[in-house]
Chains A and B, each alone.
Chain A
């Protein structure tokens, strides 16, 4: 019996020649990540135990992206703790305002993570890097502390689910619609503790940005990791960013607990209604959902192609009266490209705002909080009760294109309606 790509990555990391599903293993880490919310808790844990060493200054990333630029004194104090720690330990991959971006867009963009890596991050969306054929999973602050101290963590070998993709996406349908469709099929705990491995001929029609979006939201159905095979598209993406990596691939006779098939051509623009990412419907839908705010950004959908697609819809049009459009390029590099390509101009001309890179509004931190009963159509990843503000506000999760069309029409809408 062969092994899957995930199992092979874990075998490499625990230096074993065979592993079994459910087995608890100690693994060596290639990267340990934290942000301005989770890192201070990890630092405090290390201090409490009197641990003042790190395993490798090049294998730790600290990105100040959640409450930054800092929204108040308390969050500024949290950032200051991270800054002091990073400086004292000469952490190579420390990203502060002006250089930072949303962590899960930033790390692949900067070539900090690569195929073959085993990565943990104290942020649930760390599963994003499966898009470049790495094993990557979200953990907590104590795991981050342990990872920083000794370069290791413990993992349970996950059961494997194969998601076979066929066909090609229709216009106005993207990776976001694919992952929302899948979460709708299997539920918010449909892949609990398990791997979602995407494969099949349909993979070659998905861009890197689509793959990042899909892996990013694997956690929204409980998965430990999402992963794509390495192909020409991955290779092209990595060409200018990183060299010297190892490519792993699944054996033909690897064991999967379950196989799910999805025909990409049949997918429609898909929206998750409040208050779970699994509560999905396709557009057009019969309900009229009036929008107060539209958010395009986040680690899920704040990449250049996301903003380009949104701007193709916004160009020459106006945001509807009574709607606040907020666009958040995920990194400084993406921001600069948006300026150079005239995308910022399109957004501003349409009546929207372009924000600095930040996770802010997505998690109800700052830069776009919702009042009571307000509705946000959002390209982000979670629509839980109170996630973006008041507990009786509502979030509808959708692709950047659906968000842009909704901003223009003032209600939840498909781009086809324009």
Chain B
């Protein structure tokens, strides 16, 4: 169970982790500045197991993998959005940050308590007693996630 931090449409990777922090890449450093230009207090208040809920095109812009690394480093359980920008989407899968496409997630409010079942895609809003169905991954992508990231799948890619 975790608390919801809500963001708007088109959250770009520059606000998730501004370039001024990209001169180093440790998880702790990146996590401590996560979402800083969208909500300067986010990194200090987010707790392990909390959720980011956002609108369309989450993670657009720069390809910096530092963005999902920062979010995962903060302990965020999953990012739930109406849609994701494609590079952020694949970066999250490749590093094992849970992401969920859920067109109805706009109904979820800031501060609601959620639970999320990664295997079924079921999202329960305990505050409003509503449930939502997130998209599940096709087997190809599920395999990457189950193996704990892309580099653990090296053998699957050899001819």
Contact = CB atoms under 8 A, between A and B. Distances in A.
B87 A385 contact: no
Given A142-B91, A386-B37, A276 B10 contact: yes
Contact of B86 (A48, A146, A222, A364): A222
B63 A124 contact: yes
Interface string A9-42: 0000000000000001010000000000110110
B125 interface: no
Contacts of B62: 123-124, 363, 382
A23 to B, nearest CB: 9
Nearest to B57: A189
A189 B85 CA distance: 8
Contact of A74 (B24, B60, B140): B24
B83 A189 contact: yes
Interface string A215-237: 00001001010000000000000
Q: How large is the interface on A (under 10, 10 to 19, 20 to 34, 35 or more residues)?
A: 35 or more
B45 interface: no
Interface string B41-69: 00000000000000011001111111011
A56 to B, nearest CB: 14
B151 A193 contact: no
Nearest to A151: B157
Contact of A188 (B10, B14, B25): B10
B61 A382 contact: yes
A24 B142 CA distance: 12
A67 B14 contact: no
Interface in B114-150: 138, 140-141, 144, 149-150
Given A363-B19, A385-B15, A143 B138 contact: no
Interface string A112-143: 00000000001110100000000000111111
Contact of B23 (A45, A67, A143, A188): A67
A219 B60 CA distance: 9
Given A41-B25, A384-B14, A391-B37, A222 B60 contact: yes
Contacts of A150: 154, 157-158
Interface residues of B, number: 43
A78 B23 contact: yes
Contact of B141 (A24, A142, A391): A24
Contact of A149 (B24, B57, B154): B154
Contacts of A78: 23-25
Contacts of B152: 49
Contacts of B85: 189, 192, 222
Contacts of B25: 40-41, 44, 78
A154 interface: yes
A88 B154 CA distance: 22
Contact of A385 (B14, B63, B65, B68): B14
Contacts of A126: 63
Contacts of B86: 192-193, 222, 224
Contacts of B144: 154
Nearest to B95: A142
Interface string A372-392: 000000000010111100010
Contact of B87 (A24, A139, A149, A188): A139
A3 B25 CA distance: 41
A276 B61 CA distance: 10
A124 B87 contact: yes
B6 interface: no
Interface string B10-53: 10101100111011110000000000011000000000000000
A399 B129 CA distance: 51
A154 B23 contact: no
A45 B15 contact: no
A385 B13 CA distance: 11
Contact of B18 (A140, A154, A364): A364
Interface of A: 24, 26, 37-38, 40-41, 44-46, 48-49, 51, 66-67, 71-72, 74-75, 77-78, 122-124, 126, 138-143, 145-146, 149-150, 152, 154, 188-189, 192-193, 219, 222, 224, 276, 363-365, 382, 384-387, 391
Given A24-B138, A123-B62, A384-B61, 18 more contacts: A38-B64, A41-B69, A74-B23, A140-B95, A142-B151, A143-B90, A143-B94, A149-B151, A150-B154, A189-B10, A189-B56, A189-B83, A192-B85, A192-B86, A222-B85, A363-B62, A364-B20, A387-B14
5 closest A-B pairs (Cβ-Cβ)?
Answer: A140-B91, A140-B65, A74-B23, A142-B94, A189-B57
